[in-house]
Structure 1
Amino acid sequence: MKTYLSCALICLSFPAITAHATSIELGGFLKANARYVDGNIAFQDSWAGGGQVVPSAKRTQFSAQESRFNIRLDHEQILGFAEIDFVGSAQGNPIISNSYAPRLRHAFIQYQGITAGQTWSTLVNTSSFAETADLGGPLVGQAMVRQTQFCFSTVHWQFALENPYTYGTTAQHNEDKTQWIDTSNDYLPDTIIRYNQAGDWGNVSVSALIRYLDPADSRQWGGGLSMGAKLFTYARDDLRLQLHYGNLGRYVGTDAAKDIFDGEIETSLSGMFAYRHFWTERSRSTLFYGHTTTQVEQTDRHHWGINLFTDLTQALSVGVELGRYEIDDAIRDAAAPRPKGASNYAQLSMQFSL
């Protein structure tokens, strides 16, 4: 259920009076989580593709920081949208108030096929996201980036220039320690071209990314391909898929792959699938799996899970999820082998959608 407001902006001119109406739609949801993690990968609010292997990780965390609020403005042919949530904030602490600062998720304008502002990257097919209790689901195998862009869309095609950023480490010289890349030379926008096709069977998108990475000692062009789909199967069931290959770096796997590692451009192979089955009109389950491997850094990350959601009312749903996140990176240096790890988790979520 959403809340609608309307306001009339009256523009006076002589001798005529003209009224322009702007509709205002408020939305979002309140979400409460209880999450338990047990293994040797350090606790995360959601498995974001990275992770630190530790001797032991056992923790329970209650949180409401995934709650979000948004506003949509429609004025003639202009659409404006803004959204905030509170994920990732370190403002408060459990000793006093558990306060969380708001963060900007979306803020964009749409007009006659042009989108300008911060929203999902054109590479991202949001319909292919799995329904999960863990925020974002199998992030390790999917494209999930929001950033500022200028995008032109037609019925089937999208062409976008998006914010450039190089995430990675410089080449090691002699005994110098690896340094994070200086991003002051990110001056050419990333370019994305996407084709979409949809029907009663679902939808599929294919995207190409072209980018120029220009940190010191690593100037080079990169590119990659991405596919996302949501396909209807039996009755209300659906299959959701993503497949990515190339120099996609930070666009895929969240923190599972860098753009450049030790001065070399990274190539990654990532994929995810999620099958959602409806048991009744109100209850459904999703089985999902995500996986990313990289060639240069030789990372290997997995995430799988299964859940059950039930709608208690039209606006209120509750879900429980069990899953496992694994780090199985290859050994690059025999003198300093990488630790491998895995953590199991259980999560209970309740969500009230506005």
Structure 2
Amino acid sequence: MNIKTTLSLSLLLTYLTTPSALATEYEMGGFLKANARYVDGTIAFQPSWNGDGTIQEEAKRTQFGAQESRFNIKLTEGDVIGFAEIDFVGSSQGNPVISNSYSPRLRHAMIQYREFTAGQTWSTLVNTTTFAETADLGGPLVGQAMVRQALLRYQTAHWQIALENPYTYGTQPSDTQEQKSWIDTDNDYIPDAIVRYDRQGAWGNLSLSGLVRYLDPGDTAQLGVGASFATKINTFGRDDLRLQLHYGNLGRYVGTDAARDIIRGEIETTSSAMFAYRHFWGETTRSSIFYGHTRTEVEQTERAHFGVNLFTNLTPALNVGVEVGRYRIDDKGDSWPDMPEQTGQSNYAQFTLQFHI
């Protein structure tokens, strides 16, 4: 082996064994979650309450599950951050007949470079710090902004400006009393625009957001606007108050299917609110009481979710909780078959065990 070859191998070995200033750092996260859920009432069972719901004859159901377990990875290399996350909620593969297998679903897949973020993650309208701590996945979703989607965002200390994936969710206009016909989304070509202002301090944080949307289903152009306010305020000791208020043509951005963007060709207007107060009984034991509510003007739907819970940490990574609550539907509707009048409510109790990775 000549001197040149020896030197080359030595340099290669030094390169491979010396940490680079731009070496990628890996961070794994997530949790394992086991649930036991009991529902009793006239609204069909849901693994967690979202803004949808089907009225039925009064029934009772218990379900055990672990599909809310979640895994994520964060990659950091200099100024570049990548984040991806999956869970198993909503899978059509799983069933309780044999194996309860569930397919993974993509929650997040985004890249952040300095002030810019691109990829799928929380919508700029969403302030996740104001979500209530609940056993029910997502908590009072009927009163919350809760959307993940692909976007391009620029962010400073106090401002966020974003273009986000356009999608019109609703029903076509009709002159006859026929069943609803879903809007064709082939004409969604202008991104939704969101501007958000943030403030934070020792007292907590707040965000104020504005949404502008151009909806053009079937060449019937309509401009939609809406506003969102969210805050988390530290109160006494370790307690905190969490609040969200939403109004306007927010459609799918608020209530997780409690409201649509357009109803029979008419743009929908939504009023939503969410309130949660968390109290610490001790160093590791706490409770939250929460309420979420959404009302729509065109479709005349009304959804509400109330609950109270108790959580405690058995170890720093393992917590256990129990929650009871009620989910209610009170839709006024009209004479159209696709907008029936329906009223119902279901009570629920849930036990959860969660191990953070």
> Does the TM-score normalized on the shorter chain lie above 0.5?
yes
Q: Determine the structure 2 residue equivalent to 1:58.
A: 60
Deviations 1:126-182 (A, max 9, x none): 000000000000000000000000000001000000000000001112344320000
Question: Match of 1:20, SS?
Answer: coil
- 1:213 correspondence with 2:215: yes
Supply the distance in 2 between the matched residues of 1:250 and 1:294 (Cα, whole angstroms). 12
Q: Determine the structure 1 residue equivalent to 2:7.
A: none
8 Å Cα contact 1:33-1:347 kept in structure 2: yes
- Cα RMSD between the aligned structures? 1.8
Deviations 1:49-91 (A, max 9, x none): 1100001231000000000000000101100000000000011
Supply the distance in 2 between the matched residues of 1:59 and 1:327 (Cα, whole angstroms). 19
Question: Match of 1:340, SS?
Answer: strand
Displacement after TM superposition at 1:332 (Å): 1.7
Displacement after TM superposition at 1:262 (Å): 1.1
The 1:340/1:79 distance shift into structure 2, 3 A limit, reads same
Q: Determine the structure 1 residue equivalent to 2:6.
A: none
Aligned residue among 67, 70, 79 for 2:69: 67
Supply the distance in 2 between the matched residues of 1:93 and 1:286 (Cα, whole angstroms). 32
Aligned residue among 326, 341, 344 for 1:341: 344
Displacement after TM superposition at 1:11 (Å): 11
Aligned residue among 152, 173, 176 for 2:175: 173
8 Å Cα contact 1:12-1:18 kept in structure 2: no
Q: Determine the structure 2 residue equivalent to 1:193.
A: 195
Supply the distance in 2 between the matched residues of 1:11 and 1:324 (Cα, whole angstroms). 64
4+ residue segments displaced more than 2 Å: 10-13, 17-20, 173-178, 333-337
The TM-score normalised by the length of structure 2 is 0.93
The TM-score normalised by the length of structure 1 is 0.94
Q: Determine the structure 2 residue equivalent to 1:158.
A: 160
AA paired with 2:69? S
The 1:11/1:261 distance shift into structure 2, 3 A limit, reads farther
Question: Match of 1:155, SS?
Answer: coil
Displacement after TM superposition at 1:219 (Å): 1.6
Q: Determine the structure 2 residue equivalent to 1:128.
A: 130
Deviations 1:2-55 (A, max 9, x none): xxxxxxxx8999xxx965311100000000000000000000011101100001
Gaps of 5+ in 2: 1-11
Which of the pair is proportionally richer in helix?
2
Supply the distance in 2 between the matched residues of 1:47 and 1:39 (Cα, whole angstroms). 13
Gaps of 5+ in 1: 1-9
Q: Determine the structure 1 residue equivalent to 2:325.
A: 323
8 Å Cα contact 1:11-1:20 kept in structure 2: no
Q: How do residues 19-98 of structure 1 correspond to structure 2 at under 5 angstroms?
A: 20-98=22-100
AA paired with 2:40? D
Q: Determine the structure 1 residue equivalent to 2:247.
A: 245
Supply the distance in 1 between the matched residues of 2:203 and 2:74 (Cα, whole angstroms). 29
AA paired with 1:71? I
Q: Determine the structure 2 residue equivalent to 1:303.
A: 305
Deviations 1:97-132 (A, max 9, x none): 000000000000000100000000000000000000
Displacement after TM superposition at 1:216 (Å): 1.3
The 1:338/1:207 distance shift into structure 2, 3 A limit, reads same
Supply the distance in 2 between the matched residues of 1:263 and 1:215 (Cα, whole angstroms). 8
Q: Determine the structure 2 residue equivalent to 1:141.
A: 143
8 Å Cα contact 2:187-2:219 kept in structure 1: no
- Percent sequence identity is 66
Q: Determine the structure 2 residue equivalent to 1:4.
A: none
The 1:154/1:12 distance shift into structure 2, 3 A limit, reads farther
Question: Match of 1:308, SS?
Answer: strand
Aligned residue among 106, 109, 132 for 2:108: 106
AA paired with 1:350? L
Q: Determine the structure 2 residue equivalent to 1:353.
A: 356
Deviations 1:270-305 (A, max 9, x none): 000000000000100000000000000000111000
Question: Match of 2:22, SS?
Answer: strand
